[in-house]
């Protein structure tokens, strides 16, 4: 069975990303086609990159990096839940991506973004960065609007569930297809 990490890409106090990540996990778990796990960046205390060796070497000295490496290595694919800050994704998420290299290679990723207009620029920037890390990104994505989908609490429009289903369908197909490539 595929292992899919739902990466919570915000560490900001008062964030709404945890509600979104739980929504993704709850809907995904009903499918029964993969193991879905929330990976909260706050749990890894990565700080700024502090490893003396280049990430491509896979040589890590710090325990937080080893734990992060182990978690990402264990996954076949990812749903990245990201807010859009100033037309891009968060510094915490960029830092977490940059800590590793080989652990991302030949895996798949899909996106659930949230922001004023659904985080399209954050997702676009993530596609660029993940492409350089050797991650195949799926074409479907979910974009949640802070004004429409969070008015009076988190209440996403019904069509977002169908979009998330499309993301997960594509993600699981790519995740399975890339397993033999990873060996």
pLDDT, average across residues 4-12:
97
Domains of the chain: 2-182 (3.40.50.360)
**pLDDT exceeds cutoff 90 at 183:** no
**pLDDT exceeds cutoff 90 at 31:** yes
User: pLDDT tens digit string along 117-173?
Assistant: 999 999 999 999 999 999 999 999 999 999 999 999 999 999 999 999 999 999 999
Q: What is the DSSP string of the chain?
A: -EEEEEEE----TT-SHHHHHHHHHHHHHTT-SEEEEEEEGGGT---S---SS-GGG----SHHHHHHHHHHHT-SEEEEEEE-BTTB--HHHHHHHHT-STTTTT-EEEEEEEETT--HHHHHHHHHHHHHTTPEEEEEEEEEEHHHHSTTS----THHHHHHHHHHHHHHHHHHHHHHHH-
* pLDDT number for residue 182: 92
User: What percentage of the chain has pLDDT greater than the value 90?
Assistant: 98
* pLDDT number for residue 80: 98
């Amino acid at each position: 069975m595929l292992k899919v990490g739902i990466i919570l890409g915000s560490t900001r106090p008062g964030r709404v990303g945890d509600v979104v990540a739980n929504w993704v996990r709850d809907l995904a778990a009903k499918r029964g086609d993969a193991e879905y796990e929330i990976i909260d960046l706050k749990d890894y205390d990565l700080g700024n990159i502090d490893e003396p060796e280049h990430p491509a070497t896979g040589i890590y000295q710090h325990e937080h990096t080893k734990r992060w490496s182990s978690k990402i290595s264990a996954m076949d694919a990812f749903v990245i839940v990201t807010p859009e800050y100033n037309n891009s994704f968060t510094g915490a998420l960029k830092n977490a991506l940059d800590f590793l290299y080989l652990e991302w290679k030949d895996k798949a990723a899909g996106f659930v973004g949230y922001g004023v207009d659904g985080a399209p620029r954050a997702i676009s920037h993530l596609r660029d960065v993940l492409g350089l890390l050797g991650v195949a990104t799926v074409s479907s994505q979910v974009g949640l609007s802070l004004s429409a989908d969070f008015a009076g609490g988190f209440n996403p429009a019904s069509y977002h569930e169908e979009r998330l289903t499309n993301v997960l369908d594509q993600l699981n197909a790519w995740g399975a297809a890339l397993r033999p490539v990873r060996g």
